Amino acid sequence: MRMNLMTFNRLCLAFIFALGTTQLVSAGNSEEETLKRIQQAKYNVLTGNWNVRLNEDFNVLGETVKKNLPGLDYTLVDEVMKKSNVVTFVFRGPGDQKVVVKLKSYESFVNFSVRVGLAGNQSKSAQIFSYIYRKM
């Protein structure tokens, strides 16, 4: 039963991704590569965090988030750098919706985490990631 639920979740994400990417004009990464990354993501129902590991430069990823999330009508309200390898961006969007993007750099990858609202929103988090990842 669990395998069927995971397959259903992946199909839902693929459908949401397909709807969300039709509005993208310019793209850095291909749709296939973006879909592959979305399928590798993990969503924690308890915390509402949507996480994916990326093999990207930490600083470039941070600049991409700051530069492109306003394109989805989100405004950067806070940027906190706790350590040299951890940065948290807080955005506010339509209806005062809060979006928290956290980047944590490890030696071989960067963990990209998104939480939308207080409890999280899996599909909206996937759309935000898709938009940012395709702009890289």
Token pair belonging to 62? 């941070």
Q: Identify the DSSP state of 56.
A: S
Total domain count, the chain:
1
**E strand segments, 22-85:** 42-43, 50-54, 75-83
pLDDT tens for 44-55 read 989 999 899 988
**CA distances (Å), origin 12, targets 52, 92, 98, 127:** 17, 26, 23, 12
Kindly report, residue by residue over 47-105, the tens digit of the pLDDT: 999 899 988 899 999 999 999 888 888 999 999 998 889 999 999 988 899 999 999 99
Q: What is the mean pLDDT of residues 4-31?
A: 52
Helix (H/G/I), strand (E/B), else coil: 121 = coil
Asked if residues 126 and 113 have their Cβ atoms less than 8 Å apart, the reply is no
DSSP string for residues in 78-119? EEEEEETTEEEEEEE-GGG-EEEEEEEE-SS-EEEEEEETTT
Instruction: For residue 37, give its domain range.
Output: 2-135
- CATH number of residue 101's parent domain: 3.30.310
Q: How confident is the model at residue 27 (pLDDT cuts 50, 70, 90)?
A: very low
